[in-house]
Amino acid sequence: MILIKNQKISFNNEYFKKIKKFLLDKKVKFELIDSYPFENANIEKIQQAKVIIVFGGDGTILNTFKHVKNLRETLIVPINFGKLGYITSIPKEASFAVIEKVIELEDNLKNDNLKIDERHLIEVQNKKKKHLVLNELIVTGLKQGKPIRFEVSINGKNLIQFKGDGIIVATPTGSTAYNLSAGGPILAPNIEAFILTPISPHSLNLKPIVMSKFDEIKVIFENEHENQKAIIVDGEKSDEKVDSLVCRISRKKLSFIKPYLENHFETLKHKLFWSKNNY
C-alpha cells in the first residue's frame, strides 16, 4: 500500500499520526510519498502498488495517475485534502472509515460497503507518441490573443474547420474541469463517451460535441511555424511538436475505491452549489 499526499500537508499532523498508527497496529505494510516531482524510486513503488491512497486535490491524483503502470490491478482511494476536488471526492471527515474498510477490501466489496468506480480514459496518438488521458487534452496557442486554425474529422470524414483560442478533448471525469468553464456539458462518469469543446471559437454556431466509444476524431492544426501551440495533457505541458492528433476512447480504465453509497450527482450538487436557492 502506498500513501501519497500533497506536499503542502505534513505527515506529522494528528490525522496522519492516527492513520499510520492504525496501519501499523493492523500490520499493514505501507510506504509514504510526499514529494513532487516523484523521484525514480517512488515511481517504481507507484508502479508496483496494488492500492494507492491519495490525500490531496485532483492535481495530486493526476500526478499519480501518469505513473500507474498496471491499470487493471491498481486501485486508488481518492481523499480530498484540496479545495474543490471532483476526482478526490471522499471528504477528509469520512476518510478514516474508508481506510479501515480498505484493509479488508474483498469482504467490504462483497458486503457493499465499498465499490469500484471505473473511469474511462482517452487515448491520444500522434505520429511518435501516445498519451492516456484521465481528465483532458488541451491544445492552445502560445501567443495570447492569436487564434489557431483547426480542422476536425470524425471517423475519417471532415466535420468542421474553424479558428479559435484552442480546443479541449475531455473525458467524462474531466467534463467538470476546464470543459465546464468553457461551456461544455457535464457527463456522468460511467458514460463511455468523450467531448470535443472549442475554446472561444470565431463562430456563433460552433458548440461542444459529445462522441461515443465508437468514434475517433482527428484534429489537424495549421502549420507549426505560422503559430506555435501548446499541448497540455492532464495539466502537464508536453514539448512534442505535432501537426495532428487522433483521439479515441481507450480500452484501459482507471479504478477508484469509493464508499458504496457515494453518489456522483450529490457530489456535484454540493460542489457546484446546486442546492442553494438564489432567488
Q: Would you name the residues annotated as active-site residues?
A: 58
Q: Using the 8-state DSSP alphabet, how is residue 175 labeled?
A: G
Separation in Å, CA 245 to CA 8, 61, 109, 144, 151: 36, 25, 39, 22, 11
Q: For residue 124, with 0-12 CB atoms within 10 Å meaning exposed, 13-18 middle and 19 or more buried, which class applies?
A: buried
Closest C-alpha among 118, 124, 57 to residue 84: 57
Closest C-alpha among 30, 69, 18 to residue 46: 69
Contacts of 184 by beta carbon, 8 Å cutoff, 6+ apart: 168, 170, 175, 195, 197, 208
> Is-contact 83 57, C-beta < 8 A?
yes
> Is-contact 1 23, C-beta < 8 A?
yes
Q: Per this entry, what is the length of the chain?
A: 279
In the three-class reduction of DSSP (H, G, I as helix; E, B as strand; rest coil), residue 269 is classed as helix
Q: Find residue 55's DSSP bridge partners.
A: 5, 79
Buried b (16+ CB within 10 A) or exposed e, 187-213: bebeeebbbbbbbebeeeeeebbbbee
What is the grid cell recorded at 69?
Answer: 503502470
